[in-house]
Structure 1
Amino acid sequence: MASTQIRLATASPGTQGTTKETIAQLQHIAQRAAVKKADILLLPEAYLGGYPRGSDFGCKIGSRTAEGRDDYLRYFKSAVDLGDTVGDGAGAGEAWVKRQLSVDVVVTGDAQGPVNRGDGTREEIERIARETGVFIVVGLVEKAGGSLYCSVIYVCPKLGAIGKRRKVQPTGTERLIWAQGSPATLKAVSTTIRGVRINLAAAICWENYMPLLRQSLYAQNVNLYLAPTADNRDAWLSLMRTVALEGRCFVVSSNMCVRGDPTADSVATPNHKHGVVAPHSDHQKGATGRRNSFMTEDGFEIALPLSPTSPSASGKPRMVSQGRRRSVFDEDGNEIALPEGDLTASAVVEEEEGEARVKPDSPALVKAPAALPSNSFVSRGGSSIVSPFGDVIAGPQWEDEEGIIYADVDFDDCIRGRLDLDAAGSYSRNDSFKFSVAGLDLDPLPYY
């Protein structure tokens, strides 16, 4: 039985210095994806607006600093305005999608007329999708009223924005700056490409560790599950494979690749702290790349030993290494090598949103360098595409902020996978377990 293949694409770009520059980069990526005949493109969490990795905004329990408030002001101004309302955390929903909200009126001399709500970001992404023919899903930091939301927008080349959702559970200290979105925004959307109906929805970063949230997407019969993230640990890929197997859906994940700044001092600038980086200098582009590796049949990544003559990205010989040392990142983004062997009980690792941290009083610490070397990464990326059977079919894309990865897929594989596992249907025992989500219709979308 013949099936039409759909080309999925994702990448690991970092946020640029301004929203205008980031949108220009987004357009360039979409244009390149269009040349390669990509149908759907996913870009990372908080790509527009920036992920504030390492920032504390001057906050401690019971106190705030004036400098921290100024940092928040700058971060708020860098967020995008899509012209939506606050509502109950869901915004205006379909009224926003269909442009039924009131608009401002601009008066110029004797003439006056309506203008678009928001700052024009929605219209720019819609234009890029329309001109490239690529269905774009992108993470962004959205401001509405006096609050910020970590959001994802779904943009169809023909219809424009057909949906938007807001992160329902910011993780850890993200809760300081991002408001909670409504679970009503977990609503899946549909598009049809070359006769293939695709039901898609996004779970943002550590929302993917919420089993009931995942179930809310499975229940809507999604066959494309999107996971924009800020988690750059090797373990993230295991979760994506679990989601694909569990939901019998294709999974696309996207995370920023951001290089460290070897010239930065101990006090990062607001842009550096927010993960908003300027274009790379020549010496940064020549940084040593990640070691070669390959994927086993079971999906495990095996690092290959390095030889004295193995060239680096800059063309210089590498040092001999028989295995990569385990390491973590401290609060300032410095990579800390750990002693050989497993972590002991005294070397406790604390993890949050893709960062691993070792307690400062741990005797297992090895002193970190004062500044990041040019081959270090604030975030290593790791974007990937996984099949409904848990196979990694593209990526993981480590330490590559410029490339795009693709996979040609047959969405009938999602139905083939339902033969023996349907997490929201025949396998769910709906006669015994009852599941509902406030404000969200869980009736399954059709496949055809």
Structure 2
Amino acid sequence: MHDLKDACKIAVVQATPVMFDADACVKKALSLMGEAASNGAELVVFPELFVPGYPYGLTYGFTVGSRTEAGRADWKSYCDNSILADGPQMRALIDKACELGVYVSIGYSERDGVTGTLYNSNMMISPYGEALNHRKLKPTGAERVVWGDADCDYFPVMQTPWGPMANLICWESYMPLARVALYQKGVAIYVSPNTNDNPEWQSTIRHIAIEGKCFFVNADMVFGRKDYPALVDDAANAQVAALPEIVCRGGSCVIDPYGHEVSGTVWDREEIIYAELDMQKVPASRMEHDPCGHYARPDVLDLRVCEK
């Protein structure tokens, strides 16, 4: 890594989306990008589904074998506020990254411009206008009634001044072979946009940083019951009313390749978390353990990725 920059100033944006309003979420993201850049950030990371928010607790009227029309109306509203990977809202984010000279990672609900299917996606953006899209391989649990399985854009890796950067969305990181697919590409910065504030996750992120010998960027959001707009379906409004005051607590942080915190872990509030990444820790940590190099047995175990 001697030909790469030794340090990266990262900003992890733990923020509340403007729930289910794509244009307002993009406007807020643009403002936060500007704030982070003004404080010296070179890489700005947003959570999963920052545009237009994560519909935690909602069923959209789905039960096995049936659905309600009121639930369909709320789902259609969410669909309308999901954005195109090459649409004007994403173009505004790309243009802002170029204007500010920063790398950006942002989670969003993607609407396929041909089929209309929704995907839980994450876009990595360079300050030179490169944009690499990743669709979540397998939506988790009841997420499957909203978003489809990824059908393309598998395991994109962005070459940065600090080494390869890639992302897996939330519980994709519990897919061991998906992690290996990133390790095989030499990932140095492993971005995890997620909505996962349980304590077990804090153990997971340290394990993956040690396993992959990479920096793990844990980007979660924070939002509460009060942040939901009124919905069409009375049952959906009742579901929101039953949620706790703080629905997602955050817990964002950055972990180094040895499993140690590079930043503090922030709970229950909006905050931009700044950290300085010592990128020389990545090759140094691989002295005794390189999961797809000298600590591998490709003659015994081999991963084949069916990239499309």
Aligned match of 1:147: 117
Which structure has the greater CA radius of gyration? Answer: 1
Provide the C-alpha distance between the structure 1 equivalents of 2:179 and 2:52, rounded to a whole number of angstroms.
26
The 5-angstrom pairing of residues 194-233 of structure 1 reads 197-233=162-198
Flag structure 1 segments of 5+ consecutive residues without an equivalent: 84-117, 275-330, 336-371, 441-448
Question: 1:185 and 2:154 equivalent?
Answer: yes
Aligned match of 1:21: 24
Q: Name the SS of the counterpart of 2:154 in structure 1.
A: helix
Tell whether the 8 Å contact from 2:9 to 2:42 is kept in structure 1 after alignment: yes
Corresponding residue to 1:430 among 278, 285, 298: 298
> What is the Cα deviation at residue 3 of structure 1?
6.6
> Residue type of the partner of 1:386?
I
Percentage of identical aligned residues: 30
Tell whether the 8 Å contact from 2:13 to 2:219 is kept in structure 1 after alignment: yes
Q: Name the SS of the counterpart of 1:392 in structure 2.
A: coil
Corresponding residue to 1:398 among 234, 243, 267: 267
Aligned match of 1:387: 256
- TM-score by length of structure 1 reads 0.64
Write out the 4+ residue segments of structure 1 that deviate beyond 3 Å after TM superposition: 331-335
> What is the Cα deviation at residue 334 of structure 1?
4.8
Aligned match of 2:46: 43
Tell me the number of residue pairs that the alignment of Structure 1 and Structure 2 aligns.
303
Distance 1:270 1:11, change over 3 A: farther
Provide the C-alpha distance between the structure 2 equivalents of 1:22 and 1:54, rounded to a whole number of angstroms.
20
> What is the Cα deviation at residue 259 of structure 1?
2.3
Provide the C-alpha distance between the structure 2 equivalents of 1:254 and 1:151, rounded to a whole number of angstroms.
14
- TM-score by length of structure 2 reads 0.91
The 5-angstrom pairing of residues 47-86 of structure 1 reads 47-83=50-86
Tell whether the 8 Å contact from 1:382 to 1:398 is kept in structure 2 after alignment: yes
> What is the Cα deviation at residue 47 of structure 1?
0.5
> What is the Cα deviation at residue 251 of structure 1?
0.8
Distance 1:407 1:333, change over 3 A: farther
Provide the C-alpha distance between the structure 1 equivalents of 2:164 and 2:106, rounded to a whole number of angstroms.
16
Question: 1:163 and 2:31 equivalent?
Answer: no
Normalized per residue, the structure richer in helix is: 2
Provide the C-alpha distance between the structure 2 equivalents of 1:183 and 1:269, rounded to a whole number of angstroms.
32
**For residues 155-206 of structure 1, what are the alpha-carbon distances to aligned partners after superposition, in whole Å with 9 as ceiling and x for unaligned?**
111x2133111000100010111010036521212122xxxx4201000000
Provide the C-alpha distance between the structure 2 equivalents of 1:23 and 1:270, rounded to a whole number of angstroms.
24
Question: 1:138 and 2:140 equivalent?
Answer: no
C-alpha RMSD of matched pairs (Å):
2.6
> Residue type of the partner of 2:107?
G
Aligned match of 1:176: 145
Provide the C-alpha distance between the structure 2 equivalents of 1:33 and 1:146, rounded to a whole number of angstroms.
33
